[in-house]
Amino acid sequence: MARFHPANLRAAWWALRTARRTRRLLDRAGLDSALAPPPPPALPPAAVRGVRAALRRIGETCLVNSIVLQAWEAAHGRRRDLVIGTTGPDGFHAHAWLDGDPVIPASEPELEAVRTFSELLRRPAPQYGGAGTGQAP
């Protein structure tokens, strides 16, 4: 799928709106209120390219990015847990990622010195309609 394909652009627009909404909910009401973002529009799974591109460009936290990606994946039939972990007492770091992703992504080089995160919290993916529909039940 081409870089500026309409599906990628729609996915990017959804990701931007959802990230902004997620940030507001996290700030106002905490984690539990932000864990079920609206489902993405019915788009092909390959449009994740637009989602990832949008999230890279807005510079949000790993937690917001993980919540948005978790919603995209769940709407496309790939339910993955959101994991939040911390490091030991010799320099506290916290990080959020989706189960199965590398714990230290290349996009966060400041975490490179941190070798292990202890899992602090795990949240299952929201349930949406059928795989790839992008529609709520």
Query: What are the pLDDT digits (tens) for 47-84?
Result: 999 999 999 999 999 999 999 999 999 999 999 999 99
| pLDDT confidence of residue 131 | 47
pLDDT given for residue 108 in this prediction: 62
Tell me the C-alpha distance between 53 and 10, whole Å. 12
**Which pLDDT score, from 0 to 100, does residue 111 have?**
57
The whole-number average pLDDT for the span 108-120 is 68
Res. 120: pLDDT tops 60: yes
For residue 137, pLDDT beyond 50: no
The encoded tokens of residue 22 equal 């997620």
High-pLDDT (> 70) share of the chain, %: 83
pLDDT at 109: 61
pLDDT average, residue stretch 113-129: 81
80-97: average pLDDT: 85
Which residue would you say has higher pLDDT here, 34 or 128?
34
Residues 6+ apart with CB under 8 A from 9: 50
Please state the rounded mean pLDDT for residues 85-105: 80
| pLDDT over threshold 80, residue 5 | yes
pLDDT band at 27 (very low <50, low <70, confident <90, very high): very high
